[in-house]
C-alpha cells in the first residue's frame, strides 16, 4: 500500500516506489544548519530520506531568522541542533535523525562522514569548505557544494565520475584558500534572505537526483544564479593541473594537514579592543581610525573622524607611510579589520601600535550610529 505522505512523488513517471525505496535507504549528512542547511534539511526530511545527519555547534540568533526558517524568535539562544531536530521530527517522524551538536573539525570529520552516502556542505567559511572537500575526496564521498553572497549563489556536485570518466573537487575551482579577510562572508557582505532558501533547496534536489538516479545532476558543473536578474548559467569544470594543489592521501596525512589560513608569526601583537579602549586610544593625538569596509556599507562614518580604505583596495593603505603611532582598524564585524591589522603589522612590526575593534560596528552600533 502506498504511503500517502510520499504519494505525490511516488506517482511521478521515472520515480515510483523504487525511487522512494532508494531515498528511504539513504543516509545524507548536512553540515551546517544555517541559511543553506535549513531548507535542505526540511525538503530532505519531507522527501523521506531514511537517515538524516545534521551537524552544527551554533545557537540561534536574531540575525538568523530572515533566512533560517527552521527557527523562530522564541528559539533565540537555543542550540540550532536541538530546535532543528524537534521541528524536523514534527515534519516527518519517519525519518531517523542523527544530530551532532558541535562543529565539524579535522579530528571528528572522517569518522562522521564514513557513515553517510551523500554530503551536503551548508557552511559559510573557506577553512571548513576545504576541510570538508578534502575529507570527501579521501573517503570518496559525493559532495554537494553551495555558496551564497549578496544576491548570487553557486551550486556544484564534486567527487563523482561523470559519463566521460572525469572527476573534480572544490580545489579544481579554488586550489588555494584565500587570505584571511580577503573575501567577506555573509555576515560581512550581507545576503538577501530568500537566496539561501533557493540554493539550499537546490542542494536537496541534487541529493534526491543522485540517490534515485533521476535527471542529470550537476556533476562537474558549477551553476551560478543571480537573483536580481533571475538568471542562471553553468560553467563546465575540469580537473586542475597536477601541481596546483595537494590533497591528503590517507588519514594520517589528513590529520597532519593544515587547513587554517596561514598567519604571520607575529600576529599575536595585533590587539583586539572594545569600544571603551577605542575611545581612550582616540583621545591621544597620535591616533588614526581606519574603516576598511566597502564604500556602500552602512552605517557610513563621519569621514572627518574615520579614514576609509576598503579591503578591496587595501594595498593603497599598505603602500602609504602612516605617521600616526596608534592605528585602529574598524569593519562591520571585526573580521576584516583583524585581517587588515595583520597586514599592517607585517609592514610596521613593533614600530606601530595596531588595533582591531573586536565585534566591529555591528557590536557597537549604538556608539557609531549616535555619532554626528
Question: What beta strand segments (E) does 122-215 contain?
Answer: 143-149, 152-158
Domain 267-369 grouped into CATH 3.40.250.10: yes
Domain residue spans in the chain?
Answer: 4-256, 267-369
pLDDT at 262: 40
pLDDT at 178: 72
For residue 31, pLDDT beyond 90: yes
Distances (CA, A) of 227 to 64, 151, 343: 20, 5, 34
Helix or strand run (H / E) with residue 201: helix 194-212
Sequence-ordered alpha helix ranges (H) in 58-160: 80-91, 109-113, 126-139
Q: State the average pLDDT over residues 267-284.
A: 80
Q: Assign domain 4-256 to its CATH superfamily.
A: NAD(P)-binding Rossmann-like Domain (3.40.50.720)
Q: State the average pLDDT over residues 61-65.
A: 92
pLDDT at 302: 87
What's the DSSP call for residue 57? Answer: -
pLDDT at 184: 60
149-195 pLDDT, tens digit each: 999 999 999 999 988 899 999 999 988 877 665 566 666 678 999 99
**Radius of gyration, CA atoms only, the chain:** 23
pLDDT at 182: 57
Q: Give the integer Cα–Cα distance in Å for 337 and 159.
A: 36
**53-67, 169-183, 264-278, 341-355: least confident range:** 264-278
Q: Which residue has the higher pLDDT, 244 or 6?
A: 6
Show the cell assigned to 371: 555619532
For residue 264, pLDDT beyond 50: no
Confidence category of residue 267, pLDDT binned at 50, 70, 90: very low
315-362 pLDDT, tens digit each: 888 888 899 999 999 998 888 888 888 888 888 888 889 999 988 998
Grid cell 593541473 is found at 241
Instruction: Give the residue from 145, 119, 132, 40 showing the smallest Cα distance to 84.
Output: 40
The overall average pLDDT reported for the chain is 90
Confidence category of residue 366, pLDDT binned at 50, 70, 90: confident
Q: Give the integer Cα–Cα distance in Å for 299 and 214.
A: 48
Show the cell assigned to 175: 586550489
What's the DSSP call for residue 168? Answer: -
86-121 pLDDT, tens digit each: 999 999 999 999 999 989 989 899 999 999 999 999
Confidence category of residue 266, pLDDT binned at 50, 70, 90: very low
**71-80, 141-150, 179-188, 291-300: least confident range:** 179-188
Amino acid at each position: 500500500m502506498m504511503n500517502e505522505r510520499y504519494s505525490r512523488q511516488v506517482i511521478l513517471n521515472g520515480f515510483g516506489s523504487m525511487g522512494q525505496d532508494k531515498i528511504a535507504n539513504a543516509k545524507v549528512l548536512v553540515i551546517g544548519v544555517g541559511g543553506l542547511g535549513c531548507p535542505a534539511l526540511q525538503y530532505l526530511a519531507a522527501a523521506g530520506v531514511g537517515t538524516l545527519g545534521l551537524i552544527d555547534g551554533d545557537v540561534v540568533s536574531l540575525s538568523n531568522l530572515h533566512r533560517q526558517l527552521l527557527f523562530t524568535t522564541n528559539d533565540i539562544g537555543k542550540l540550532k541542533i536541538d530546535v532543528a531536530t524537534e521541528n524536523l521530527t514534527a515534519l516527518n517522524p519517519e525519518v531517523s535523525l542523527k544530530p551532532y551538536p558541535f562543529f565539524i573539525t579535522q579530528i571528528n570529520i572522517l569518522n562522521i562522514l564514513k557513515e553517510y552516502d551523500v554530503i551536503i556542505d551548508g557552511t559559510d567559511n573557506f577553512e571548513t569548505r576545504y576541510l570538508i572537500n578534502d575529507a570527501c575526496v579521501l573517503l570518496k564521498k559525493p559532495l554537494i557544494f553551495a555558496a551564497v553572497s549578496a544576491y548570487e549563489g553557486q551550486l556544484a556536485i564534486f567527487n563523482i565520475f561523470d559519463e566521460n570518466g572525469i572527476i573534480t573537487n572544490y580545489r579544481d575551482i579554488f586550489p588555494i584558500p584565500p587570505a584571511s579577510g580577503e573575501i567577506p562572508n555573509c555576515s560581512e557582505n550581507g545576503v538577501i534572505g530568500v537566496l539561501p532558501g533557493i540554493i539550499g533547496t537546490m542542494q536537496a534536489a541534487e541529493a534526491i537526483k543522485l540517490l534515485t538516479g533521476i535527471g542529470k545532476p550537476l556533476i562537474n558543473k558549477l551553476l551560478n544564479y543571480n537573483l536580481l536578474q533571475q538568471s542562471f548559467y553553468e560553467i563546465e569544470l575540469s580537473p586542475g593541473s597536477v601541481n596546483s594543489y595537494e590533497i591528503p592521501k590517507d588519514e594520517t596525512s589528513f590529520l597532519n594537514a593544515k587547513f587554517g589560513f596561514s598567519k604571520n608569526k607575529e600576529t599575536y601583537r595585533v590587539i583586539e579592543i572594545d569600544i571603551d579602549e577605542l575611545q581612550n586610544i582616540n583621545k591621544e593625538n597620535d591616533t588614526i581610525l581606519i574603516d576598511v569596509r566597502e564604500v556602500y556599507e552602512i552605517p557610513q562614518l563621519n569621514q572627518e573622524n574615520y579614514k576609509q580604505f576598503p579591503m578591496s583596495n587595501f594595498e593603497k593603505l599598505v603602500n602609504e607611510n602612516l605617521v600616526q603611532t596608534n592605528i585602529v582598524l574598524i569593519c562591520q564585524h571585526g573580521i576584516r579589520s583583524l585581517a587588515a591589522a595583520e597586514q599592517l603589522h607585517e609592514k610596521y612590526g613593533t614600530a606601530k601600535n595596531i588595533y582591531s575593534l573586536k565585534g566591529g560596528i555591528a557590536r557597537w552600533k549604538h556608539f557609531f550610529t549616535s555619532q554626528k
